[in-house]
Amino acid sequence: MNILVSNDDGILAPGLALLADVCREVASVTVVAPDREQSGTSHSLTLHRPLRPQRRSDGAFQVDGTPTDCVMLALQALMPEQPDFVFSGVNHGPNMGEDVLYSGTVAAAMEAVMLGVPGIGISFAGHDPETLLTYRDSLVRLVRRITCVQPFPAQMLLNINLPPVPASEVQGIKVTSLGSRYFSESLSRMKDPWGREIFWIGGGSITWTGGVTSDHAAIHEGYISVTPLQMDLTNYGLLETVRGWSLEG
């Protein structure tokens, strides 16, 4: 079995090293990741300049591009054959609710699915690297179970979030739906050194909503959240409503 490991935190991220180490317990691993942090790049591609993947001394490839670039390059150029699975992460910070639309971690897994390979994104809802390291054995078991699923459902990616507690305190695993989060005061207005007005996106406070089956509810209760996502964003329940708008005249 062959597994591709990528991320959006960059080639030097501790979460990437952990995930690659975990995946080596069950398969041969190739690492292709951005050469710097690419958080929030979503599913973007680098179209206006060439990409230069570089082989590192440890055998991994670093790419001067986005997570999506990395997976596309790996599957179409760098790997001699397609991997059986693509794992993305472990992201430093959660990817729940609408985060999946912005996340480079999730986008890497999504690109894999679009190219015909099962994709799994994994994120840690905390920020302490030492706490993340306690998940090694749990992740080995989880990766082993996932890679044993045959056949793996087509056009589905798994979005996994680990709670911000040591692995010994985890209550279990819950299969969840996406919650919803609202950012307030996340746009800061300031001046550059020349007095010109600039804006910085980030920070602020987050308000979460969602039912008891949502990802953020599971994380809040100390569970590992596993959310199956689909590529088709069509709202089938509104097809007839929109057809009734008589848009042709």
Run means of pLDDT, 10 residues per run, the chain, 249 residues:
97 97 98 93 94 96 97 97 97 94 96 97 96 98 96 95 98 96 81 94 79 94 97 94 87
Q: What is the pLDDT of residue 216?
A: 94
Question: Is there a contact between 3 and 84 (Cβ–Cβ < 8 Å)?
Answer: yes
- Quick one: how many helices (H) and strands (E) in the chain? 8, 13
Going by DSSP bridges, is the β-strand pair 54-55/2-6 parallel, antiparallel, or unpaired?
unpaired
Identify whether 204 is part of a domain: no
Residues 6+ apart with CB under 8 A from 205: 183, 184, 185
Helix (H) or strand (E) holding 141: helix 136-147
Instruction: Kindly give, in sequence order, each residue whose CB lies less than 8 Å from that of residue 42, ignoring residues fewer than 6 positions away.
Output: 101, 102, 103, 104, 107
Domain-located, residue 194: no
Q: What confidence score (pLDDT) does residue 26 get? A: 96
**Backbone φ, ψ for residue 67 (5° rounding):** -60, -40
What confidence tens digit (pLDDT) does each residue in 3-53 have? 999 999 999 999 999 999 999 999 999 999 999 998 888 999 999 999 999
**Could you give the CA distance from residue 223 to residue 138 in angstroms, rounded to a whole number?**
12
Tell me what pLDDT residue 126 has.
Answer: 94
Q: How many domains does the chain have?
A: 1
| DSSP 8-state assignment for residue 194 | T
Q: How many residues does the chain have?
A: 249
**Predicted pLDDT of residue 249:** 67
Q: Quick count: other Cβ atoms within 10 Å of Cβ 167? A: 17
How many CB atoms sit inside 10 A of residue 106's CB?
29
In a domain, 145, yes or no: yes
Instruction: Tell me which residue range forms the domain holding 101.
Output: 2-180+210-243
Q: Can you tell me the distance from the alpha carbon of 97 to that of 165, in angstroms, rounded to the nearest whole number?
A: 20
Residue 228, domain CATH: 3.40.1210.10
pLDDT score, position 203: 76
DSSP H or E stretch at residue 190:
strand 187-191
Among the listed residues 163, 155, 154, 105, the one whose alpha carbon sits nearest the alpha carbon of residue 134: 163
